[in-house]
Amino acid sequence: MTTAIEVVPEYTESSGGGQARGMIWSVHMTMARVSFEAQYPDPRLPARLGRLVTPHGTLETPAFTVVGTQATVKGLLPAQVTQLGAQAVLCNTYHLYLRPGPDIVAAHGGLHGFMQWPGPMFTDSGGYQVFSLGSGMEQGIGKLVGTFPDEDVSRGRRPAGAGSHGKLSRVDDDGVTFRSHVDGSTQRLTPERSIEIQEKLGADVILAFDEPTSPLDDEEYTRQAMGRTHRWAERCLSARRRPDQALYGVVQGGAYQVLREESAAFIAGLPFDGFAIGGSLGRSKQDMAKVLDWSAPSLPADRPRHMLGIGEPEDFFACVERGIDTFDCVAPTRLARHGVLYTATGRITITQARFREDRGPIDAGCACSTCRDFTRAYLRHLFVADELLGYVLATIHNLHAILNLMARIRAAIAAGTLQALKADVLGRLGAAAPEGVAHA
């Protein structure tokens, strides 16, 4: 892997008709068959534009990576996902390990051949399942409900499943033993096994095996889990064999400043090709902003940075402002299947009775095919009648909304208008952006 840093002079038209000189800081990272380049249109700010070049295409960042947990974006053909503007998908190592198994996927030439996705692809490590089947199941913390416990309480919600299940996994310093949710069999994942599986799955970007923690875990346990994550990170680097995949290290440490800073420094000091920020982001979105402020500055600027499990508009702005390049989250597609749809002024639940005779589109300003061709009343009918087309049309809309927002964010960074876009988008949503970003 090689790195170069340069300052590129850029000339723009000044108000007086002459040329005004500005600077774009550019950083490059190259490795076997994968490379990354980032540019800072405003070198005073961390927000940046990037190009992650992989064997299966180039990812223009910042970018949202669509989650296709079991080698499918539920309800959509790969061509439809591409047409919506998706540049990359993320598949789940744990689920594909259990079913159909990595050898079957490898026999198809990897996930690209198996699911017929032509572009860049990520796989997670299975580490999140260590958490979700263990303390996450006990405490009711999940990808959607319970991610930020204080906000769930303020909305009158109890974390789903809290206290109602025992653990299905047990962690030790070597790895994790768990019971398969498919057939109840006992299975085991270690750092070496996770890398072996991900190399058979064949994604362009793979993640080191880690142990995420819950926002309800105390500092002592979070430190123990962080130590395991660090030792496992070193083992993942030793286990890798394929030079055509980028391996990302994962920063842990919960919502504890000293731990986040320690983890970011440790992981940044290892020869990873990129970095991900994972685990507990605290009890609220204000905590998430702090976690980013403690983590991102230590990560080398010449390598890509991924935020695990983040997919809401206000979160995108908070992350992009701190130099995050890519994101993944199940929220847009999972919410769609439950009839929860994005609009410029906030979410709506299409099954509500008030939409029974509504002849308008989901969102009057949306250019997606669902909004162009179908009414709210029709969408409501499909969901009430439990018709599969409802899930398809809702997923098309939600993904279009998120992917279109990311395209607007990229354009705003390039034009130097990110703050204006943020004010407009969040103002319409009535969303409060996390605090903590200093603007020049």
Contact 325, 38 (CB under 8 A): yes
Q: Is the peptide bond before 62 cis (omega within 30 degrees of 0)?
A: yes
For 245-282, letters b (16+ CB in 10 Å) and e give bbbbbbbbbbbbeebbbbbbebbbeeebbbbbbbbbbb
Contacting residues for 183 by C-beta, under 8 A, at least 6 apart: none
Widest pairwise Cα distance in the chain: 73
What are the φ and ψ backbone dihedral angles of 63, each rounded to 5 degrees? -145, 145
Residues present in the chain in total:
440
Among 121, 165, 122, 123, smallest CA distance to 142 is for: 165
- The catalytically annotated residue of 273, 287, 315, 328 is 328
171 strand-pairing partners: 176
Alpha carbon 112 to chain centroid, angstroms: 19
**Which two structure tokens, joined as six digits, stand for 157?**
């919600």
What is the Cα–Cα distance from 194 to 207, expressed in whole angstroms? 9
Buried/exposed 321-349: b ≥16 CB within 10 Å, e otherwise: bbbbbbbbbbbbbbbbbebbbbbeeeebe
In what helix (H) or strand (E) does residue 82 lie, and over which residues does it extend? helix 78-83
The catalytically annotated residue of 124, 210, 273, 293 is 124
- Angstrom distance (rounded) from CA 41 to CA 413: 7
328 is catalytic: yes
What residues are annotated to the active site?
A: 124, 328
